[in-house]
Structure 1
Amino acid sequence: MVFENLNIVRTGTAQGGRVLYGTPSFNGSTARKDPRFTNAILLKNTDKGYSTSLTVGVQREAQAEGLSGALFYTWNRAENVNNATSSRAISNWQYNEARDVNNPELGTADFEVRHRILAHLSYRVRYQQRFATTVTLIYEGRSGSPFTWIYNGNANADTRRDNDPIYVPASPDEIVFTSDSPGGWDELNAFIESEPSLRKYRGQIVPRNSARAPWRNLLDLQVLQEVQTLGTQRLEITATLLNVLNLLNSDWGKVRYTLFDTVRLMDFQATTIRAGPSCASRRCRTGTICSSRTTWLRAGSSSSVCATCSNA
């Protein structure tokens, strides 16, 4: 499904091909076709999107006594243009990270699990004719959930300041830092270099869900006690210990994820152009005014602006 806002007007294109719908700033000023109305959302069908999975595995069937188990691996690739997770059309439109909010590109789906390993190992022992005990370990390892690096600010003037994927600067002349960002370019550049999901997209807007949370490891322990009662009837008592790894070490077995599948890397203040002798009679591509957080989030006002210029 594709959601389009019919009451906003395209006004231009910014850094990395971001489509503008007004004047971008921290809050943004949206250009509307009819100022008497706010949003008019059109729901359209699309043939874009798919999900593909491949599973392979081996297993040993349960035995009257002794070892049994299984090991399976699943690879999954899923893409769509909108996850459509809300019951409201406005939410599905405004919480979809894209270069063009009214014409979203194909991107990784929120619920894609790229790699998944499932395994269990059981041992069953019988004794005194009426009793049997089975001990089982159950393991799940899987890729972390995908997420998008976004601005805290309205970089495309579409009414929202929490849905714009960031432009990853390739050099310091593509970004201006505010006075309350003491780390400046050196700090931001070091962070970009440390994150493959940012480093890969230097000079581009990051695609939706192109980053991923850490790998997850979960291990459960189950003990099943069987007691034969009358004839072929039996009583079963099961005890399960969830997340054994976390019991052994508080740093293990944690599931790390991002809120709403986004991370706000930096504040966005404006795009602007500084005219000068080197830019005279040229078309200038606007630079981005923003700042790094105290680990990537705080910004203030700035009196200095700049732009990267290219020949007309």
Structure 2
Amino acid sequence: FVWPGAMFNTNGTKQGGIFADVDFTNGIVNAPQFEPDVNNQPTAADIFGGTDAVPQGDVNLFVEDFKFPQVFRTSLGVAKTFGDGWNVSLDGIYTKTLNNIVYQSVNFENNFTSTPGPESRIQYVSNAAVDSRYRSIYVGYNTNEGHSFNFSTGVDKQFENFFGSLFYSYGDSYALNEGTSSQNSSQWRGQVHDVGGRNNPVFGRSDFSAGHRVVGTTAYKFDWNDEKNVATTVSLFYNGQSGTPFSWIVGGDDADNFSNENGSTSRNRTLFYIPQSRGDINLMDTDDLTADQQWALLNNFIENDDYLSDHRGEYAEKNSNRLPFESQLDVKVLQDFGLTLGDKRHRFQFSADIFNFGNLISKDWGTTWSTNDSFSYQTILNLQGFDTDGSPIYTFTDDSLDDERFNINDISSRWRAQIGFRYLFD
């Protein structure tokens, strides 16, 4: 794995940097001159004073007994064939996390206060480095929190010129951290959190929770002339599945580091607190909407979402919602025919496929969806800063309801067609 390998090249000395502040009124402040000599690069001392000889860098560490991800998995399946070619199956699988990866950023003091009001999120008093030789120090360790399961059942039948099958499955999975990034700093900044910041990620539904799925296939062959191998086969394939799970988060540049942490905070995962009433949230006027107008829109937005309306006064759970259910139908037509030349018979086959056939009929069918943010997160509020008492100040400007809240995936939502030709050897 690449994670522990980073301890060798991200050790605080091989990689580092110095940063110049930008003032758009007065230009770049304390900007160093370009130095082409790789052995004579500017240091923090050249800009900020002091005696630092080496630019600050990050450090990646792992606990001594760290273990690579491990799971326990068990499965059971039953299949039965009945008379006349009916086949029925039932399968189940359960997975328990034994060891997965989670992170903490440790190069700042664990001294914090809490924002006033019902949200009460922690905020660190200072994110200054405890060890000023380094910028951020990330420590990876293990967790055994997490599990998943999947259940499926189905039936299929072969007739003389017809085949049909129908299968259903349901799966769900839960995790503390997904462990999907190759960089340790990215793993830490991507940890989903509510009250306690990234160092205290929340356990919840995994990004890979499957949900419901229905798969159906059917094919019928029309034999027009057996001697000349003239036949037409029409096949249908249907796939319907639950949308991708997503979390409601707070957006805005200030939300990237809501808790004032030391570390790479460019990826925001701050879960949304669902206000019970107008007094639970501090909204500010925008150029277009007053705070009260925004509350009316936000309140209506919450009321139109089943999950949000049922969990007022709570933090939205990790991956609490799903994108709309997705359904697509594919159609395939095969045309076979034979040709006898001399003593030899030649067989040919033309094929035509239409993927997402429903979208060919209606622009509203066969749609697939994504959230308005990357990594399956949906921004509901933008953090604009903090009031004098430390309470967060928000704006809300999106009053889109139902499916209008999400983005349509242009490519996968369109119908597509392909044609083919084959020569079949006897």
TM-score range, shorter chain: 0.7 to 0.9
RMSD: 2.5
- Percentage of identical aligned residues: 30
Tell me if the contact between 1:155 and 1:161 (Cα under 8 Å) persists in the aligned partners. no
Aligned match of 2:174 in 65, 79, 82? 79
Q: 1:32 to 1:151 in 2, by over 3 A?
A: farther
1:295-306 matches, within 5 Å, as: 295=399
The equivalent residue for 1:112 is 209
Tell me if the contact between 1:174 and 1:287 (Cα under 8 Å) persists in the aligned partners. no
Tell me if the contact between 2:192 and 2:202 (Cα under 8 Å) persists in the aligned partners. no
Separation of aligned partners in 2, 1:86 and 1:38: 21
Tell me if the contact between 1:155 and 1:270 (Cα under 8 Å) persists in the aligned partners. no
Tell me if the contact between 2:338 and 2:346 (Cα under 8 Å) persists in the aligned partners. yes
Separation of aligned partners in 2, 1:253 and 1:112: 21
Q: How far 1:31 moved relative to its partner?
A: 4.7
The equivalent residue for 1:144 is 243
Aligned match of 1:291 in 395, 413, 419? 395
Q: Is 76-85 or 153-162 further displaced after alignment?
A: 153-162
Aligned match of 1:97 in 175, 192, 200? 192
| Long gaps (5+) in structure 2 | 1-100, 401-426
State the secondary structure of the residue aligned to 1:45: strand
| Long gaps (5+) in structure 1 | 23-28, 275-285, 297-312
Tell me if the contact between 2:326 and 2:368 (Cα under 8 Å) persists in the aligned partners. yes
Separation of aligned partners in 2, 1:80 and 1:248: 40
State the secondary structure of the residue aligned to 1:103: coil
Separation of aligned partners in 2, 1:75 and 1:294: 33
State the TM-score, normalized to the length of structure 2.
0.60
Q: Deviations over 1:116-157 (max 9, x none)?
A: 111112111112111222111111111110111111123222
* Paired amino acid for 1:74: S
Q: How far 1:17 moved relative to its partner?
A: 5.5
Q: Is 90-99 or 3-12 further displaced after alignment?
A: 3-12
Q: How far 1:249 moved relative to its partner?
A: 0.7
The equivalent residue for 1:266 is 381
Tell me if the contact between 1:21 and 1:31 (Cα under 8 Å) persists in the aligned partners. no
Q: How far 1:294 moved relative to its partner?
A: 4.5
* Paired amino acid for 1:167: Y
* Paired amino acid for 2:113: G
**Stretches of 4+ aligned residues off by more than 6 angstroms:** 229-233
The equivalent residue for 2:106 is 6
Tell me if the contact between 2:189 and 2:267 (Cα under 8 Å) persists in the aligned partners. no
State the TM-score, normalized to the length of structure 1.
0.80
Q: 1:150 to 1:8 in 2, by over 3 A?
A: farther
1:223-302 matches, within 5 Å, as: 223-227=333-337, 235-258=348-371, 259-272=374-387, 274=389, 287-295=391-399
Separation of aligned partners in 1, 2:345 and 2:129: 75
Query: Greater relative contact order (Cα 8 A, min sep 6): structure 1 or 2?
Result: 1
